[in-house]
Structure 1
Amino acid sequence: MHTLTFKLSLIATALISSSSAFAEKTIAERIVVSGSRFEQKLEDVTGSVTVITGEDIDRQLAVDLQGMFKYDPSISTTGSGGQGQTLTVRGVGGNRVVFIKDGRRTNDGYAGGSGYLVGRGYFDVAGIKQVEVAKGAASSLYGSDALGGIVVITTKDPSDYLNSGSSFAEFGLGYQGDSEQVAVDFSAAKQLTDNFAASVVLSHREGEEVQNYSETLPGYDTESTALLMKLQQRIDDKRTLKYTLDLFKQDTTQVITPKVQETDDTDSNYAFAIDYNSALKTTWYDRFQGHASFSRYEQKSQQISDATNYTDFNDYRFEQAILGLRAVFNKEISTQQHQHGLVYGADIDLYDTTRPRFKTRLLADGSTDFENQKQKAFPGADTTLVGLFVQDNITFINSNWSLVAGLRYDYYTLAAKSDALYADTQLNDIDESALSPKLGAIYQVNNNLSFYGQYGRGFKIPPHDQAYQSHGVEPFYQILANADLNPEKSDSFELGMRYSNDDVNFSLSVFHASYKDFIETATVGSEPTFIPGVNKTFYQYQNISETGIRGIEMNFAAHLTDSLLLETSIAYADGENKETDQPLTSISPLNGALLLSQEFNDFVFTGAWRVAKSQSDVPVDMNGQKTTQGQGYGVLDLYASVELQQWRVNIGLSNVFDKHYVLYELIAGQSQDADFSQYSQPGRNFAAHISYQF
């Protein structure tokens, strides 16, 4: 990092600076649901939770997961500009982090090629109330996939819009310079009768790819539309019903050479949900939440690939339907010595997954070689997840101690669908169970200072694409199915402290997690082929890795004056594969963020400085040579906002000094001599959003 750039960034950050609402929310207590599946104060959670509010999303002009977690150094993202996205939390990501949106599980991510063909980011940010990321194992409450953490996305209800009136409407226009995206969004809510209220959020976006620094990446066009409709019914003072319709569709078109190399992707999902909430006290519970939902996710990829003597027309799809049922009960029990906050319930999730792939080949003379020929990948699968859980939040009367103890039992089955294409493949059903305990403690020194500790067990069932994948390219390689895979498991420990008062909020956490039976690709054999000197290699997904990750995180926020807010966060993690003694490529280098916000009447200015050092602890390649360490960087972003009566304007300038930089997470494990220009991040770019409320 050049000294001049460093000094200019620091000076600008000190001179520039989100709204007073942002400042108040940063210091004030926050309410989360990820710690117990019922609302509780963040300070009562025995673990680290990142909270991104709707105000944060607006202020940072975020349009996807990458924008939301831009300033959280413990979370990294993949994908941007209409691509599927995933999150990596403390070095663990992909399908090892479960996503929950409005109480329902979202689609799996499917790994293929150089990334995720189907990611977890197929939703729109318009209408989001809050996003929580609980770091570390969370299977004691959420079951499979919560190996490395959970992401809980909550969208706004009609009551969130109608807290100050009987009707609400807002229209907005947005622009993102890094993807040339133009967005239109509309939100409205209405109190229909004394017992019914409705809301609707409609968003439409059109843009392009997010380019690298030198703008040399192949281009594509993307367009998305999202619709979120909710109807709240008030049965009486204690009971409510909520009906939700959630739709999302995105089209991405890339033409490298017309009729020679083209790709047209359509990603869509829709969900219906009914939620029942009761505060009627009974012998068995004080509050009850019931949830039923059906979701369907589809990815359609139409590809044209031209070769010397033929042209292939590929129709590749990923389809997944999820039926989810939830029952969550809460009971408060008081004795002379203890107060218990009991949470218990059951989850049922039924997955129906298919991966149809078809190919049509036209020869150079115009004749058809074959049409809609089925291609191997992995057969469809039916997955059943059934979980029973209980957690007790125990407060000791006349003591500074409180405990959290939880246990979950999960039973799951995985059965391959019958498909003649895989008649010669061994596809046994998987039928297993898992126990996930959790134990935590909080010591409250005084009203401002507390210490906590937590242990949690996580697990992830063997995914269908890895257990049943069976395909290859003759005569070069073959992937063999493996229905004997064990579930991946984790044991996560965390110690931390929190301090807060009206002006200061400080937290420090130290964590260590061990992961066993990681599922990775292994070479299991080879045999000679008819081509002299060429052997056919056999691969298979196997439980081969034992991994350890440890680290430390710090977050600090303080009102320097009534109108000046300072925030800073730092994260360091270290991880290695215990079998090979090699560092993990999923670990981010030491990095952090510093934000300074200054309010001037109705105007607010924010300077946000992102910094990272190069990663010195890197694995070696097959020749024993160290892979790339990447480079450290410091990047300054500026934001400004103003609220004038019904108008609200947010503008931002990212990468103010037009710095060339590459995220280590995108190039980890590659040769030091490789060309990383395609992974460089966008240069200076502008974003804005203007809305009018009426």
Structure 2
Amino acid sequence: MSFRLQWLHLRSQALRTPITWLLASTVPSLYAAEPVQLESLTVTGSTISDRFAADSRVVSSTTVIEHEEISERHATNLIEVLRAVPGVTADLSGEGDSIKIKLRGIENQRYMGEKPGVAIVIDGVPVFERTGKVSVDLDNIQSIRVVKGGASYLFGEDALAGAVIITTKRGAGHEGVAIEHDRGSFGYQRDSLRGGFASEHLAGHLQWVSRRSDGYYELSERDTTSLSGNLQYFLDDVSDLTFGFEVSERFRDREGSVSGATMAKYDPRGVSEGRGYTRQFDVELSRYNLTYSRDFSATGTLQLLGYQYTDDTRYWSAPIRYDAQGRPVSDNQVDQYQNDNDYAQVQQGLKFEIRETFGRLGLMGGAEVRRNTFDEQATAKESYATTIRPRLIVVEQGTLKSDYLTEERTRALYSEAQLSLDKGLTLVANYRFDSTDLDGLDRLAGGLHTGDRYQNHSWRLGFNKALSADLSLYGAVSTGFRNPTVSQYADNPDLDPETAYTYEIGLHQDSQWLGWPTRLNASLFYIDRRDFITSNVGQYVNDKAASAAADIEEPRPENIGGVTSRGFELALSTEVRHRLSFDLAYTFLQSRFKDYDNYFLALGNPYGALVSDPAQFSNPASQVLFLRYDNSGNSVPRTPRHLLNLRVNWFPVEHWKLSGEMDYRGTSYADELNQETLPSRTLFNLALSHQRRFMAPGDIPLQFTAFLKVDNLLDERFYSSARGFYDSDANGVYNREDLSIVVDPGRVWQAGVALRF
């Protein structure tokens, strides 16, 4: 083994240990600022933290959800929080809080291990967790900011359609003790205990949370235990040092999909489905950061951030079809799997930022150094036969099947400038330069795959024009990018990075609407998604498809096409008047493939004998026929034309609150062919809460809260998600019986109490 191979191998072992250095900071939010004065402007860009409320002078669509609102929703997953945000087209599989967040239809055609096209930022760090999904402790969220439009100008790779910026709990606001207990459908139980303190020089808290559920679906148990905390030390009047951490142990089993519309109707829980493709996910997550911030002038701030985030996931994959003796293994033998997978990811990095204002000009500059490693191993969970004819070939238990290390090293410079002109006009410009090196080490084969050095330029140009004291017009052009992976580069060194350009114009208004103080935001957007990478024979298609195409020499990843998304978004929220308040979110979305001319659909057994002439396709169980389609102009799957969310809060008497929600999702397609549909659905949810404050003996202030909520009140049966890409039952026909469908559990309830003192 060469010196470089040995060096990469040693680094892969060392990266599993905690780091001992961590530096960071706490600074104003990505788009928050003090009101802009013509003679003095405060620059608002930052990647590190998100402490303040949004300012009306933003240049891109943003939605902020604060801690109080998140807590009052008593959500069991992040989708329940984000579905009131216009433009969110996320998929929810199963019941857990591990989801893939998507915006404005970008990347909705993908649902396996790919990145989602949205930067998920937790405490200033874009996180890439297992299979592109984000696992976050809902009980440790201080705020969520959803920024739409290409956001690579601040966060780098994968911010094609925007960013979801999550800030965890911190500060003196969590002083005291809080005890909470919830119960709900299917054995759901949640327990939480938090203690916090605040003094002149110190503020901090420690929180323990446990969530468990038997699950609606067969083999869908899940269990999560998290410990998190934050300690903030005020060095002096202008500087502070903050340490934050979160460690979680998570377990989840199957996610609940069934095969075909008939099974979705008669066996929605998947009892007869037996095994899924993956099971038994054991996940260990940790996040550590140490922050430093100093205000060196009335408008100038310096900040540092250092962090280490880890994700160690083990799971089973690939059900065994034949045992070591060549006997068939049925799906009711639910523990029989080929692979025991171990995936370890470590993210380490440092950031530096400085901001200052010079009259009407505000400037921000930052630098970032980041290293991400992905260490993947797969061993044979037990002995099994790969083939039985013409001879028996067996893989022995414990055989190392793959052992791969990937390393990404990024160095970036980024900046923002804001200029305040006369007559209420503010101009904003952002620029970021990323230089990324990719290396891959196949320890099993003994080969080193070195990716190209990618150098990416990202930018945003925007404006905000105050038309009156409570009405402003804004607009921006922004970019996003994603580099090829090491394995994609190894198969095709000529790949270009994927890119996206977002064009947006909107109105922001604070006014009175029928007596209610109302905040309204409306925007028009257009996204030009270019050069997305997938196989030249289509997504998730067996490589045999290349043999069916005379013009394809070999299957490999290519920049095969693009997507356009255009639409209109409206967000309206009111303050409480006449004991009522309202929140409305509406999205009109048209997302289509601009170019996608090579797509092969497998009919029959995808691993069977290849047949090129349909007339010879007589035995689908042992043959495969590939049909070629041009999907250019088709709608992107799982992107409804209309989405509507309406929330109404009623305060009938003191201490009581009744909340109703209607959530509508229009019809969409379940496949890239646009043959099978995912029907529309309308949900009605209802929640009742009671909150009272009183003094306990010893003059201790207490707050008691109780709630009851019922989701899907009318018990509507619908598909949470549906996807299809081949003849899964190998009968020679592709139809609704080939879809992989997740059926919603129907009406569910949850109730809980909380005591804070």
Name the TM tier (shorter chain). 0.7 to 0.9
| CA offset digits 1:188-212 (Å, max 9, x no partner) | 1123x53222211110111133x3x
Q: Which residue of 2 aligns with 1:293?
A: 307
Partner SS state of residue 87, structure 1 = coil
Residue 392 of structure 1 is matched in structure 2 by 417
2:154 counterpart SS class: helix
Name the residue aligned to 1:175: 183
Q: Does 1:463 align with 2:463?
A: no
Aligned to 1:75, the other structure's residue is in SS state coil
1:588 corresponds to? 640
For residue 69 of structure 1, report the CA deviation from its aligned partner. 1.4
467 and 357 in structure 1: CA distance in 2 versus 1, 3 angstrom threshold: farther
Distance 1:296 1:567 in 2: 37
For the residue of structure 2 that corresponds to 1:96, the secondary structure is coil
| Structure 2 partner of 1:58 | 71
1:546 alignment partner in structure 2: 562
Paired residue secondary structure (1:548): strand
* Deviation, structure 1 residue 661: 2.1
Shift, 1:143, TM fit: 1.1
Q: 1:244 corresponds to which residue? A: 244
Are 2:688 and 1:643 aligned?
no
Q: Which residue of 2 aligns with 1:128?
A: 141
The match for 2:665 is: 612
Contact 2:528 2:563 in 1 (8 A): yes
In the other structure, the counterpart of 2:125 is 104
Instruction: Give the deviation of 1:348 after TM superposition.
Output: 1.5
Where do residues 490-501 of structure 1 align in structure 2 (5 Å cutoff)?
490-501=500-511
Matched residues in 2 for 1:219 and 1:504: separation? 46
Give CA-to-partner distance per residue, 1:239-296, whole Å, 9 cap, x none. Answer: 0000112111102246989x999942201111221100111229xx810121000111
Displacement of 1:71 in angstroms is: 2.7
Question: What is the distance in 2 between the residues matched to 1:126 and 1:464?
Answer: 36
The alpha carbon displacement at 1:509 in A equals: 0.3
SS at match of 1:42: coil
Q: Give the structure 2 partner of residue 185 of structure 1.
A: 192
Match of 1:666 in 2: 722
Cα displacement (A) at 1:483: 3.9
Task: State the shift of 1:374 in Å.
Answer: 2.2
Deviation of 1:659 after TM superposition, in Å, equals 1.2
The equivalences for 1:315-326 within 5 A come to 315-326=340-351
What pairs with 1:39-438 in structure 2 (closer than 5 Å)? Answer: 39=52, 41-78=54-91, 79-82=93-96, 84-93=98-107, 94-110=115-131, 119-120=133-134, 122-162=135-175, 168-177=176-185, 179-191=186-198, 194-209=200-215, 211=216, 217-253=217-253, 263-281=279-297, 286-302=300-316, 305-310=319-324, 314-334=339-359, 339-362=360-383, 370-376=396-402, 379-396=404-421, 398-421=422-445, 423=447, 427-438=449-460
SS at match of 2:98: coil
Letter in 1 for 2:210: H
User: CA offsets per residue over residues 225-249 of structure 1, 9 Å max, x none?
Assistant: 1111111111000000001121111
Deviations 1:589-643 (A, max 9, x none): 311011111112111111111123323x88773xxxx512332222211112111
**Does the Cα contact within 8 Å between 2:248 and 2:285 map onto a contact in 1?**
yes
Structure 1 counterpart of 2:745: 682
Name the CA distance, whole Å, in 2 between partners of 1:547 and 1:171. 48
Match of 2:463 in 1: 441
- AA aligned to 2:195 is A
1:146-176 residue CA offsets vs partner (Å, 9 max, x unmatched): 11111111111132224xxxxx110001124
Change in CA separation of 1:403 and 1:329 when aligned onto 2, cut-off 3 Å: same
* CA pair 92-146 structure 1, distance change in 2 beyond 3 A: same
Give, as a single letter, the amino acid of the residue that structure 2 aligns with 1:225: T
Select the structure with the greater relative contact order (CA < 8 A; seq sep ≥ 6).
1
**Is 1:566 equivalent to 2:585 in the alignment?**
no
C-alpha distance in structure 2 between counterparts of 1:123 and 1:260, whole Å: 26
- Report the secondary structure of 2:678's partner residue: coil
**Whole-angstrom distance in 2 between the partners of 1:527 and 1:319:** 28
Unaligned runs of 5+ residues in structure 1 are 1-27, 111-117, 163-167, 212-216, 469-480
- Residue 641 of structure 1 contacts residue 649 of structure 1 at CA under 8 Å; is this kept in 2? yes
Whether 1:655 aligns to 2:655 is no
Task: After superposition, give the CA deviation of every residue in 1:367-405 in whole Å (9 maximum; x if it has no partner).
Answer: 9952422224x8321101111111112111x42211111
CA distance in structure 2 between the aligned counterparts of 1:414 and 1:401, rounded to whole angstroms = 42
Q: Which runs of 5+ in 2 are unaligned?
A: 1-31, 36-41, 108-114, 255-269, 325-335, 386-392, 596-631, 694-702, 727-733
Q: What TM-score do you get using the length of structure 1 for normalisation?
A: 0.81
Q: Distance in 1 between matches of 2:523 and 2:396?
A: 59
Seq. identity, %:
18
**Paired residue secondary structure (2:469):** coil
- Report Cα offsets for 1:342-387 as digits up to 9, x if no partner: 11111121011111111154369xx9952422224x8321101111
Distance 1:319-1:539 versus aligned 2 partners, 3 A rule? farther
Asked whether the 8 Å contact 2:671–2:723 carries over to 1, the reply is: no
- With 450-459 and 83-92 compared, the bigger mean Cα shift is at 83-92
Label 1:280 to 1:416 Cα distance change in 2 as closer, same or farther (>3 A): same
Q: What code does the residue aligned with 2:466 have?
A: Q
In structure 1, distance between residues paired with 2:507 and 2:705: 37
Asked if 1:489 corresponds to 2:499, the answer is yes
| Cα distance change on mapping 1:634 and 1:494 into 2, 3 Å | same
Does structure 2 retain, via aligned residues, the 8 Å contact 1:527–1:537?
no
Going from structure 1 to structure 2, the CA distance change for 1:432 and 1:653 (only over 3 Å counts) comes to same
Inter-partner Cα distance in structure 2 for 1:244 and 1:494? 36
Q: Aligned to 1:505, which of 509, 519, 532?
A: 519
Distance (Å, rounded) in 1 between the aligned partners of 2:191 and 2:543 = 57
Q: Aligned in 2, Cα 1:280/1:30: closer, same or farther, shift over 3 Å?
A: closer
Given the superposition, is the C-alpha separation of residues 248 and 260 from structure 1 closer, same or farther in structure 2, using an over 3 Å criterion?
A: closer
Q: Show CA shifts across 1:308-334 (max 9, x none).
A: 432655211221101011112110111
Amino acid at match of 1:693: R
CA shift, 1:442, in A, is 0.8
* Aligned-pair Cα RMSD in Å: 3.4
Cα distance, 1:550–1:369 mapped onto 2, change above 3 Å = closer
Change (3 A) 1:409 1:441: same
Q: TM-score scaled to structure 2, two decimals?
A: 0.75
Supply the distance in 1 between the matched residues of 2:181 and 2:102 (Cα, whole angstroms).
Answer: 31
1:692 corresponds in structure 2 to 755
Alpha-carbon separation, structure 2, partners of 1:85 and 1:157: 25
Give the match for residue 5 of structure 2: none
Contact 2:638 2:670 in 1 (8 A): no
Taking structure 1 as reference, are residues 57 and 346 closer, same or farther at Cα in structure 2, changes over 3 Å only? same
- CA 1:326 to 1:180, structure 2 compared with 1: closer, same or farther past 3 Å? same
With over 3 angstroms needed to count, the CA separation of the structure-2 counterparts of 1:34 and 1:522, relative to structure 1, is farther
Cα shift at 1:649:
1.6
Secondary structure of the residue aligned to 2:555 is strand
Where does 1:612-631 land on structure 2 (aligned, <5 Å)? 612-615=665-668, 621=673, 626-631=674-679
